[in-house]
Amino acid sequence: MFFSKRNKEASVFYSTAAAAGSLRHGFGGEANTDLILKSFVSADGRELLLACVNGMTDEARIDEFILKPLMGSFCNGLSAEQIARRYIEVSEVSFERDIEKALSSVAAGMSALFLEGGSECILVETRGFEKRAVSEAMNESVVLGPKESFTENLRTNITLVRRMIKRPRLIAEMLELAENTPAALMYVDGETDPELLDQIRARLDRIPSGVLLTNGTVEQLIEDRSLLPLPRILSTERPDRAASHILNGRAALLIDGSPFALVMPVTLFSLMNSPEDVYLRPPLGSVLRFIRYLGALISVLMPGYFLALALYHQGMLTTEVLSTVIASRKMVFEPITVEMILLLVIFQLIREAGMRVPGPIGQAIGIIGGLIMGQAAVTAHLASSVVLIIVAASGLGNFCIPDYSTQLAASYFRIAGVAAARLGGLLGLSAAGLFALCELADTESFGTPYLEPLSPYEKSRRPKLFRGKIGNTGGAGEGRS
Amino acid sequence: MKGGHDSKKVAGRAFSAFIAMTVGGIFSYDPGYLYAAGNSAYVSSVITAGVAALLFCASLSSVKRAGTRNACELVESRFGRIARTASAVPLSIALILCAARPISVFAQVLHRLVFDGSDYYSILAFILPVTFYMAVKGHGSVARTSVCVSFVLAASLVLVILLSAKGYESFRLYPLIGDGIPHMMSCAVSDLVFIAAPLLSMTGGRGLSYERATHGCVRGDLSDDRANRLVSGIKAAGGAALLITLSRLAAGLAYDPQSLSEMLIPLYRIGFVSPRPGAMFRFDKIFIMIWLTCCMVSSAYCVDSAAELLSGSGKRFKTAVLFICCAVLALCVLPLFVSARVWDKLTFISVKYGALLLIPYSALTIAAGLSGQMKRSERA
């Protein structure tokens, strides 16, 4: 049986009636009907009080392993520790003297047992609520490789990672974030930089209360500051991806209630890698990776580049291409910049609408938006076919980016590129590109440069556009950048 | 530290110096002066790079022997604060020239050849803010950006030179090596300000911009950077010399000296001399934008280096950067206030006599090193 260290705070419990009053008051009085206070007596007549929250606990476990043994017990003259040792048939038990802490534990799903005349309560691990089963990854699906994804249950998520990394030195450091949110910081002892771990702990400590802590909010609260909207922490729903990063010396934060692991630190190259790369043979993985980078470049640069050419550098287009552009825009009434921005906005609308509605309808929206609206816009001379193709190609390229937050950031870069190209053609695009590159180079994720190992350049770990053999340092593993 | 992790040191500043030297050698010279007596500038660039590397090695050896952090500290420790200022200020002025000259050249080329109907100042409005923003962010950002950009610069130059090969004719090379030596030497000296100043500045500031190498997230160690600075600097000088020589040789093979003396950037449209221009015909503007990007990085590096030399301990670095930015801005907008003839004269003077600005710094550093060595010998 596991007993935690006793809390030496001032004791408050001398009678179960007083404890019941404090609990009732702490839970907001009679209005809060979720608090269950079960008063009962032991076989020798000692008053006992069990407190728990309805729906947060495993009732069968309470009945079978706490109430039943205690009702038939002889508790008089026994301390809390003696009672726990003799009668409570649950492995995880701790003792608490502070009423505030006891209240927090009860709110988190534990059961608190108060003894008449005792100076502390017994906290019993009885958490048990409805949870989603481990299911297939929805956002990071792969053809080859494991299918399972994280759930909202912290313990399940830790187990999923532990099943991948069967090392005794895999640490799941339990933390309590603000608002009593349990979390686990997972890393391999000896592989991960202790300085990084200290930095993560310090940032987690600074999270203010009053915020609902999920992966999205925690990510924003602890990430490094940057002008760019790119993520500085990787959110992944795949245990294999998190495990791969952990094996490479990174740390993953699992938060109770969030089906994602937050991996820190990350680089731009690790955000561009997909789990699929590693599960395919090197030539196929290399082709996929190359296409992905190409897609990202097309997504960010193509609309701006086309606009720059059409507005300022027509000489760079061949006569045939130029005449096609002119012919397709013959009846379009708005300027090409407005047309481009309009189509980009419509593309974002379709994407957003497709994501917010259930699966089959979402697909239908995509088809309607892509085919019918596009065709209708060209027929109505609201858009030219050439610009429509450019926007569509750029959108397809955007979908090649494996990370959702990076995808969204690329969409903003695309619009910034269009604005820069409108202002100064290729000169504007170059200036904006250099500004973004400088910001990217300056950005850090928990002390690791965002463009590492390209910049700062390290020959032994240069980022590989083409995937190498598994096990090679510098690019083969998914966690490697 | 993780087992088996090679604690590599990563230096970005050498990449910045490489870009600054390449930009200085290819885009900053005065064509009227360089090609006045033939197109043998490709020979002079080798001499210039050699002299620059020699000055750099001599300065750094002095610093290394004296055990100081940089050349400014060495000069101050031997000859006092005034000598330090006397050595740092001329080099800072040279760096300001290195920052302003290529920007001015690119703005002129873009205004005349790329953006019809635009004016010189609207082009500057795109270039200067980004350059100054980078400079304000400091050496770390510039160095990291340089690493990304330097590969693109080298690849673009090599690609342009190769793609234009069909138009090269060896009869255009005049004078050949051995002829016109005085003019070649004079060109080598005139180039020195743009090629040697960025390299020498590596000895004056806080050294290489070190990043701690990371392996996953296990960090490497840092060690003394002076030995590394020497190797990195020589590599940067060698790489830059190679690219400058190849570019000037390509320009010499593609155009006669008369045409070259009127071109600010001969590599732009070098492909047009080919009977079948091919891909170059459509991509000339892409290449010039790549080089412009490198020019901005180079200028930001020069601004930061000058600010580092002037600010000394680095406490007033940002103020110095702002001051240098103002100086670069003033030089870039000078054509607004002076006539074309005066502007050309100023350019000619800065190019021809700019090398003089390097003398106080190099001489005082070497002298300080020698004086320290003599003192040590006497004591021994």
For residue A46, give every residue at least 6 positions away whose Cβ sits within 8 Å of its Cβ, in sequence order, or none. A75, A76, A115, A116, A117
Closest CB from A195, A435, A457 relative to B130 = A435
**Of the listed ranges A136-145, B75-84, B151-160, the one predicted with least confidence:** A136-145
Q: Global pTM?
A: 0.84
Q: Which two tokens stand for residue A321?
A: 């291409």
pLDDT in tens, A348-396: 888 888 877 776 777 777 777 777 888 888 888 888 999 999 999 999 9
> What is the distance between the terminal CA atoms of chain B, rounded to a whole angstrom?
42
Kindly indicate whether the ipTM for this predicted assembly is greater than 0.95, answering yes or no: no
Mean pLDDT across B282-294: 91
Q: Which residue pairs from A190-194 have beta carbons closer than 8 angstroms and sit at least 24 positions apart in sequence?
A: A190/B2, A191/A247, A191/A248, A191/A249, A191/B2, A191/B216, A191/B218, A192/A246, A192/A249, A192/A250, A192/A251, A192/B216, A192/B217, A192/B218, A193/A249, A193/B217, A193/B218, A193/B219
CA distances from B331 to A29, B100, B347 (A): 75, 6, 10
DSSP state, residue B348: H
CB contact under 8 A, B217 and A430: no
A448 touches chain B (CB under 8 A): yes
pLDDT at A477 over 50: no
| Strand duo A47-53 + A111-115: pairing | antiparallel
Q: Which residue of A has its CA nearest to B281?
A: A316
State how beta strands B210-212 and B9-11 pair.
antiparallel
> Cβ separation of B218 and A458 shorter than 8 Å?
no
Instruction: Spell B296-323 as b/e; 16+ CB within 10 A means b.
Output: bbbbbbbbbbbbbbbbbeeeebeebbbb
Judged by CB atoms within 8 Å, which residues 426-445 of A form the interface with B?
Answer: 426-431, 433-435, 437-438, 441-442
Of A62, A8, A10, which Cα lies nearest the Cα of A40? A62
* pLDDT class of A235 with cuts at 50, 70, 90: very high
> Token pair 């906290």 is at which residue?
A123
Q: How far apart are CA A442 and CA A435, in angstroms?
A: 11
With bands split at pLDDT 50, 70 and 90, how would you rate the model's confidence at A225? confident
**Partner residue opposite A427 with nearest CB, options B126, B217, B218:** B126
Which of A218-222, A352-356, A428-432, B236-240 is least confident? A352-356
Taking only the tens place, the pLDDT of each residue in B322-365 is 999 999 999 999 888 888 888 888 888 888 888 999 999 999 99
Tell whether the model's pLDDT for residue B216 goes beyond 50.
no
Is A70 within 8 Å of A45 (Cβ atoms)?
Answer: no
| Cβ atoms of B265 and B103 closer than 8 Å | no
**Percent of chain B residues past pLDDT 70, beyond the cut:** 87
Q: Which DSSP state fits B29?
A: S
Mean pLDDT confidence for B180-192: 84
pLDDT at A461: 58
The answer, yes or no, to whether residue B157 has pLDDT greater than 90, is yes
- Residue A9 pLDDT exceeds 60: no
> Which residues in chain B have Cβ-Cβ distances shorter than 8 Å to A458?
8, 10, 213-214
d(CA B20, CA B94): 13
pLDDT of A481: 39
Is it the case that residue B214 has pLDDT exceeding 50? no
φ, ψ for residue A255, nearest 5 deg: -115, 135
Compute the mean pLDDT over every residue in chain A, rounded to the nearest whole number: 85
**What are the CA-CA distances from residue B25 to residues A65, A290, B17 (Å)?**
83, 35, 12
Q: Which of A339, A341, A336, A340 is nearest to A326 (CA)?
A: A336
Q: What are the residues facing A251 on neighbouring strands?
A: A264
More confident residue, B218 or B49: B49
- CA distances to B21, B190, B193, B222, B346 from B350, rounded to whole Å, are 17, 9, 9, 40, 6
Per-residue tokens: B213: 């190498």
Helix (H) or strand (E) holding A177: strand A170-177
Q: Sort residue A206 into left (φ over 0), alpha (ψ -120 to 50) or beta.
A: alpha
Asked whether residue A1 carries a pLDDT value surpassing 50, the answer given is no
Separation of alpha carbons A25 and A32, rounded Å: 10
Is B153 an 8 Å CB contact of chain A? no
C-alpha A56/C-alpha A104 separation (Å) is 13
Residue A249 to chain B, least CA–CA distance (Å):
5
Pairing, β A2-3 against β A92-96: parallel
pLDDT at res. A476: 36
Amino acid sitting at position A250: R
Q: How far is CA A39 from the centre of its chain?
A: 42
Structure letter (DSSP) for residue A90: -
Listed in sequence order, the residues at least 6 apart from B228 whose beta carbon sits closer than 8 Å to its beta carbon are B9, B11, B208
Torsion of CA A451, A409, A210, A10, to 10 degrees: -20
Rounded Cα–Cα distance for residues A354 and A358 (Å): 8
Distance of CA A228 to the CA centre of its chain: 19
pLDDT over 50 (residue A475):
no
The H-or-E segment that residue A306 falls in is helix A282-311
Does residue B311 come out as left (phi exceeding 0), alpha (psi in the -120 to 50 range) or beta? alpha
Q: What is the pLDDT of residue A398?
A: 92
Q: What is the pLDDT of residue B209?
A: 56
- Read off the pLDDT of each residue in A95-101 and give the average, rounded to a whole number: 87
Tell me the pLDDT tens digit for each residue of B123-137. Answer: 999 999 999 999 999
Q: Which two tokens stand for residue A73?
A: 């017990």
Picking from A152, A189, A187, A150, the residue whose alpha carbon sits closest to that of residue A172 is A187
Model pLDDT for residues B234-274, shown as the tens digit of each residue: 999 999 999 999 999 999 888 888 888 888 888 887 877 76
- For the cut 60, the answer to whether the pLDDT of residue B142 exceeds it is yes
Q: Check CB contact under 8 Å for A455 and B145.
A: yes
Tell me the average pLDDT across A144-162: 91
Burial of A207 (0-12, 13-18, 19+ CB in 10 A): middle
Residue of A nearest to B115 (CA): A312
Contacts of B144 in chain A (CB under 8 A): 441-442, 449, 451, 455-456
Largest CA distance in chain B: 71
Can you give the pLDDT at residue B20?
95
Measured from the Cβ of residue B63, the count of other Cβ atoms closer than 10 Å reads 26
Interchain proximity A457–B126, CB inside 8 Å: no
User: What residues have CB less than 8 Å from A49, skipping those under 6 apart?
Assistant: A16, A19, A20, A37, A38, A39, A40, A113, A114
pLDDT of residue A233: 93
pLDDT for the residue B347: 86
- CB contacts of B7 in chain A (<8 Å) are none
Mean pLDDT of the region A272-297: 86
Smallest Cβ–Cβ distance between A448 and the set B137, B149, B214 belongs to: B214
Per-residue pLDDT band for B221 (boundaries 50, 70, 90) equals very low
For residue B222, the model assigns a pLDDT of 44
Mean pLDDT, residues B75-102: 92
* B15 at interface of A, judged by CB pairs closer than 8 A: yes
Alpha-carbon distance values, A457 to A433, B97, B150, B175, B219 (Å): 20, 29, 11, 41, 14
Q: Where is average pLDDT lowest: A1-10, A161-170, B149-158, B196-205?
A: A1-10
DSSP string across A93-148: EEEE--HHHHHHHHHTT-EEEEETT-SSEEEE--B----PPP-B-SSS--SSS--B
Residues in chain A: 481
Kindly list the residues from chain A whose CB atom is less than 8 angstroms away from the CB atom of residue B2: 190-191, 249
Task: For CA atoms B158, B274, B296, B262, give the dihedral sign.
Answer: positive
Residue A4: pLDDT band by 50, 70, 90 thresholds?
Answer: very low
Average pLDDT over residues B20-26: 94
